[in-house]
Amino acid sequence: MKCIFCKSSSRGSISEEHIIPESLGNTEHILPPGWVCDGCNNYIAREVEAPFLNSWYGRNSRFEMRVSNKRGKIPPATGLYPRSRSKVDVYLADDGHLAICATPGENELHFVRSIQSHTHGTLFIPAATEPPQSYETSRFIAKIAMEALAERCINMPGWNKEIVEKRELDELRNYVRRGKPGLVWPIHKRRIYAANRLFTSPGTPPYEVLHEWDILAIPSSDNSKMAEFYVVIAIFGVEYVINLGGPDLDEYKKWLKAHSNQSYLYANQNSALI
Ligand SMILES: [Zn+2]
């Protein structure tokens, strides 16, 4: 077996790879050892996942959704205490109260004095609406897309080799594994439902959807080229669409227009979702 990112033999690798990080609440979608070698597993956790999870959006969205990390802790949100112009970390205490302290690197004494010298104050905690179109977001979504494709093929004999040898995937896999500073791989991004929206289905209590995905194949319009494959991912209600075969979204944009802007994740349902 070979690693889908570096193409080296992954014999002896022991790490499972979470397609969506555990810190975003994923306990189900996991690639068995070998699909991603131990070296790439470590690199991706450090260089691809951590920059997104520790970004302002990553922290505040996890805080809002109350999703705890591997150690069972909900990460602090980043806020602002304008009176002392201090960036603050906002923690959710066990009793449901908020606890705040100056973010490391801020002038803590100045912040504490300001708090102590007033009986009232205002604290801003910006809502996590959508992450920016950035290098960190693109690489994070690219990693999920490659692994979502692999997950589809786990039980298909010969498909590890197929994915590893597919040259059309090289540009994206190298973007994840090696990076390309300055290149923001285009992603179609929009919110399709509120992060805390409750879904219902017959026979089950209402539930939240933390993440979901599917693969959309769009046949070539002139039949001379191969179909294009897009991975459609939703995390906390934000939809991300990425092309597995190159940084071009034109065919997807045409598909979207032809389908009245409906999300592919809900295209076959009589849903009110866009
Ligand atoms: Zn590898």
Mark whether 202 and 92 lie in a shared domain.
no
Q: For residue 33, how far is its CA from the centre of ligand 1 (angstroms)? A: 11
Mean pLDDT, range 1-19, rounded to an integer = 96
Mark whether 79 and 205 lie in a shared domain.
no
Q: For residue 19, how far is its CA from the centre of ligand 1 (angstroms)? A: 15
Residue 177 lies in a domain: yes
Helices 170-177 & 135-153, crossing angle to 10 degrees?
Answer: 120
- Structural domain span for residue 105: 69-116
Mean pLDDT, range 83-104, rounded to an integer = 91
Residue 78 pLDDT greater than 80, yes or no: yes
| Tokens at 81, concatenated | 């205490």
> In whole angstroms, how far apart are CA 186 and each of 53, 60, 226?
19, 23, 20
Q: According to the model, what pLDDT value does residue 271 have?
A: 46
Residue 272 pLDDT greater than 50, yes or no: no
Please spell the DSSP secondary structure of 11-37, one letter per residue: TT----EESS-GGGT-SS-EEPTTSS-
Q: For residue 14, how far is its CA from the centre of ligand 1 (angstroms)? A: 12
Q: For residue 43, how far is its CA from the centre of ligand 1 (angstroms)? A: 9
Residue 7 lies in a domain: no
Q: For residue 180, how far is its CA from the centre of ligand 1 (angstroms)? A: 17
CA atoms of 205 and 250, how far apart (whole Å): 40
Mark whether 161 and 213 lie in a shared domain.
yes
Cβ burial 38-55 (10 Å sphere, 16+ → b, else e) = bbbbebbeebbbbbbbeb
| Tokens at 174, concatenated | 């190298």
Mark whether 30 and 101 lie in a shared domain.
no
Residue 194 lies in a domain: yes
* pLDDT per position as a tens digit, 112-151: 999 999 888 899 998 888 999 999 999 999 999 999 999 9
Number of structural domains in the chain: 2
Q: For residue 252, how far is its CA from the centre of ligand 1 (angstroms)? A: 30
Is the distance from CB of 64 to CB of 195 less than 8 angstroms? yes
